[in-house]
A and B are shown apart, each in its own frame.
Chain A
Amino acid sequence: MTPLLQVEGLSHYYGERAACLDISFDLAPGEVLGIVGESGSGKTSLLNCLSARLRPSAGRILYRSASGEILDVYGLSEAKRRWLARTEWGVVQQNPRDGLRMTVSAGANVGERLMAIGARHYGEIRASAESWLERVEIDRNRIDDLPLTFSGGMLQRLQIARNLISHPRLVFMDEPTGGLDVSVQARLLDLLQRLVTDLGLAAVIVTHDLAVARLLAHRLMVMRQGRVVETGLTDQLLDDPHHPYTQLLVSSVLHP
């Protein structure tokens, strides 16, 4: 199968310091790739480069669009890159407040992408927003409430709905369960797992939580100091880690 995303020799430097070094991988359609590693290992920088929000210092990213065209993400014009990012892609940020407009209602947040790609029928936008709120388990009658009045878990679900409304094919998630308590995390993970399977989404998920990685990801990439030290199928990698750092990572998890 031709890959959806091809990453070739991607590096990013902040001045002299390398955030990620010479990273290459392919992502198949419908595949969920987990990127794990301790904080400071370059996970988020890598994700920002992948999701067209941070131009990498070297390397290139090829994306196969819905029309079958192979696009060099950073070779595109900015207008096309923005269009891609709001139609075929989604970005779920660690802090939902960064990914939402906190001063407009939940409905406007969810409907924004539709308006940005040209929807001009209020009733249809609203109906669409309502059905997406329902799909992420937010009550329909909260549609006109400001996100300020939402709990942390609801905000994260709202952010997910805002991204999925345009039916993206590829979603980037940065610690989607960060900062949530465990029961809320569990529900969010259930929801994500269901959405990813139902919609056949491909996803790149950055996390430091191996439990999240095991539940969601088909394949894992372990990062340390900007480099990928080990990759493999999730179960394989977590149950039989080869690299000493992966072994350390796996053995650091507490089992209550």
Chain B
Amino acid sequence: MTGLTGYNFAYLDEQTKRMIRRSILKAVAIPGYQAPFGSREMPLPYGWGTGGIQVTASIIGADDCLKVIDQGADDTTNAVSIRRFFARTAGIRTTTRTRDATIIQTRHRIPETPLRAGQILVYQVPIPEPLRWLEPRDSETRKMHALSDYGVMHVKLYEDIARFGRISTSYDYPVLVDDRYLMRPSPIPKFDNPKMDRSPALQLFGAGREKRIYAVPPWTPVKSLDFDDFPFEPQSWDQCCSLCGSGVSFLDEVVIDDQGGRMFVCSDTDYCQDQRQEALT
């Protein structure tokens, strides 16, 4: 596919990319710290991945291979559009296979296939501040980060247990990065939280509306918050995927008729396909 004329490589101008790269470097240097950046207007609405796209545009090179997933799937509107956007503005190769990708932009999931060193995972983040619902003042939350004053986060988890008998937060589950910064992992299910811990891939988080970038460098410890007597537990299912039979992946419940029929399938379409291919051969 050839690039469009009249656009700079990967849409953003070089000055903007340099500014964003500086923020990324700062974010990587201080794991979990929310580095501010001058978010640009993008040709899609806030909430559709403006932060992720800007991060991807700043780090992508001509020989990169991009995969975009939305809720684990490669074939949803958002994923298809963003993949095509970069194919057209940067003329780069795209893929749906996790193994082949050098950059994976994601919303809501981390791929089931383990990432390897050298890959970069870019998250689209709606609200970067983990303390936002507990403390409305930004000046105060910044101070709380500076002083590692995170006790109030446990108040939320306490409240979960008091109400539901367990920690019911199931996505966007708060984590402590490198024993220092409290971080919101964007709305991924807590099922994916353990994959962030000491991951060989670089993880970058971009929040376009809130103008923040943060990062988890490779091999950084990421700990999900919990209580001693209510330890962190990822979700589990008593079914297997109806298509590939996997018992270890994150499953989506899909309604298939109006008679109450439903099936459970892998949310990661690429992984599901791989499993089926393997079963055939």
Q: Which of A's residues lie within 8 Å of B, judged by CB?
A: 78-79, 82, 101, 104-105, 107-108, 111-113, 115-118, 120-123, 125-126, 143-144
Given contacts A120-B228, A121-B229, contact A115 B151 (CB under 8 A): yes
By size class, the interface of chain B is: 10 to 19
The 11 sampled A-B contact pairs (Cβ below 8 Å) are A78-B147, A105-B159, A105-B162, A107-B158, A112-B152, A115-B152, A115-B154, A121-B227, A122-B227, A122-B230, A144-B162
Question: In the assembled complex, which residues on chain B have CB atoms less than 8 Å from the CB atom of A115?
Answer: 151-152, 154-155, 158
Question: In the assembled complex, which residues on chain A have CB atoms less than 8 Å from the CB atom of B65?
Answer: none
Question: In the assembled complex, which residues on chain B have CB atoms less than 8 Å from the CB atom of A144?
Answer: 162-163
The closest CB in chain B to the CB of A121 belongs to B228
Question: In the assembled complex, which residues on chain B have CB atoms less than 8 Å from the CB atom of A101?
Answer: 155
B161 within 8 A of A: yes
Question: In the assembled complex, which residues on chain A have CB atoms less than 8 Å from the CB atom of B163?
Answer: 105, 144
User: For the complex, would chain A's binding face be called helix, strand, loop or mixed by DSSP majority?
Assistant: helix
Question: In the assembled complex, which residues on chain B have CB atoms less than 8 Å from the CB atom of A107?
Answer: 158, 162
Task: Decide: B229 and A122 in contact? CB cutoff 8 A.
Answer: yes
The closest CB in chain B to the CB of A116 belongs to B151
Task: Decide: B228 and A125 in contact? CB cutoff 8 A.
Answer: no
In whole angstroms, how far apart are the Cα atoms of A49 and B158 in the complex?
Answer: 32
In whole angstroms, how far apart are the Cα atoms of A117 and B152 in the complex?
Answer: 10
B143 within 8 A of A: yes
Task: Decide: B159 and A108 in contact? CB cutoff 8 A.
Answer: yes
Question: In the assembled complex, which residues on chain B have CB atoms less than 8 Å from the CB atom of A112?
Answer: 151-152, 155
Given contacts A104-B155, A115-B154, A115-B155, contact A122 B161 (CB under 8 A): yes
In whole angstroms, how far apart are the Cα atoms of A34 and B161 in the complex?
Answer: 41
Task: Decide: A82 and B149 in contact? CB cutoff 8 A.
Answer: yes
In whole angstroms, how far apart are the Cα atoms of A82 and B144 in the complex?
Answer: 10
